[in-house]
Amino acid sequence: MKTQMKAANSVLCMRLLVSLGLLICIASCRKPEPRLFTVGSKSTAEQVFLAEVAAQHLEHRLGIKVARKFNWGETVSVHTGLVGSEIDAYPEYGCTAISVILRVDSVTDRDVILERVRDEYRNRYRAIWLDPLGFDSRFRVGVLKIDQAKFKLVKLSDLRRRGEGWRPGMSRDIRSRTDGFALLDANYDFNLRTAPAALDPTMFARALSENKIDLLLAESTDPLWARDDLVQLEDDARAFPPCEASFVLRTDADQAYPGVLRALGELSGKFTLAEVQEANRRVSEGRAGVESVADRFLRNVGLLK
């Protein structure tokens, strides 16, 4: 009897081992899930809009599923994601790449900026800098129309006419960058009533209405410039460099996903400053979801039927 039980147990163990071996073989032979092409963005309405446009266009044009990793924070964070292969492409600005990533002195020539970032990103980061999208988001300075009329302001060099000085407001990024407030301060002689306030862009309107700031330094695409009570002043010293947006694509991602480079290139030259301002306004004010805003844009420019 004991001999029979031992034999039965041996047979059972053998069957279990065979089953386990089969499971291991099946698991090892199963192909891993393919990694999705991933589009990233910084944490601004404009960046999320541009990234969503790219993601939708790639899905429609190439018939692939695109992963989205939006709201990564500021420039260094999303750049690190690109270099570390966590994202495959994202929208970036030439002036930002020059100042924040490459850390070179401010360059004011559009062609020099484009050539420099293309060379550096290809050689240092194995990334492709595509043709500009069509709009320039360089920094602009504006004041309230009531102050413009009172002090007869037309250009930035006129700011000195207000002897009591100004209370400037801007994003934390612009305040810290060498091509941001530092350029304004270095190129124009005017007084400050308060130190530059670092604000979230969503707080610009409130700070103006509550009389906490009276001079705004912001990107050209900021929806606040559409306000009737604000006027931009001419940068007569030409202090602020052009800041054209482009998509940046990892070189190996271009090789892994055939057609991606060509498809992203179809977005170059398709955006206008007015369209990006309007998209910013709709997304930041919650008037429409970014998916519908991006879909509408692609249809308007003829890339989606």
Record the tokens describing residue 275, joined without a space.
């369209």
Q: What distance in Å separates the CA atoms of residue 91 and residue 248, rounded to the nearest whole number?
A: 6
Task: List pLDDT tens digits, range 80-125.
Answer: 999 999 999 999 999 999 999 999 876 889 999 999 999 999 999 9
CA distances from 185 to 168, 172, 196, 212 (A): 11, 16, 11, 20
Tell me the residue range of the domain where 192 lies. Answer: 139-233
Task: List pLDDT tens digits, range 9-52.
Answer: 555 555 555 455 555 544 455 555 567 999 999 999 999 999 99
Q: What distance in Å separates the CA atoms of residue 211 and residue 196, rounded to the nearest whole number?
A: 14
What is residue 10's predicted lDDT score, i.e. its pLDDT? 59
Are both 89 and 119 inside the same structural domain? yes
Q: What distance in Å separates the CA atoms of residue 116 and residue 124, rounded to the nearest whole number?
A: 12
What is residue 167's predicted lDDT score, i.e. its pLDDT? 98
Q: Tell me whether residue 27 is in a domain.
A: no
Phi and psi (nearest 5°) for 245?
Answer: -90, 145
Are both 92 and 155 inside the same structural domain? no
Which residues, other chains included, contact 219 with Cβ-Cβ below 8 Å and sequence gap of 6+?
A: 46, 137, 138, 139, 140, 243
pTM of the model as a whole: 0.85
Q: Tell me whether residue 110 is in a domain.
A: yes
Residue numbers of the chain with a pLDDT score lower than 70 = 1-34, 106
Q: How many domains does the chain have?
A: 2
CATH of the domain at 146: 3.40.190.120
What is residue 285's predicted lDDT score, i.e. its pLDDT? 83
What is residue 305's predicted lDDT score, i.e. its pLDDT? 83
Are both 156 and 74 inside the same structural domain? no
Give burial (CB, 10 Å; 0-12/13-18/19+) of 152: exposed
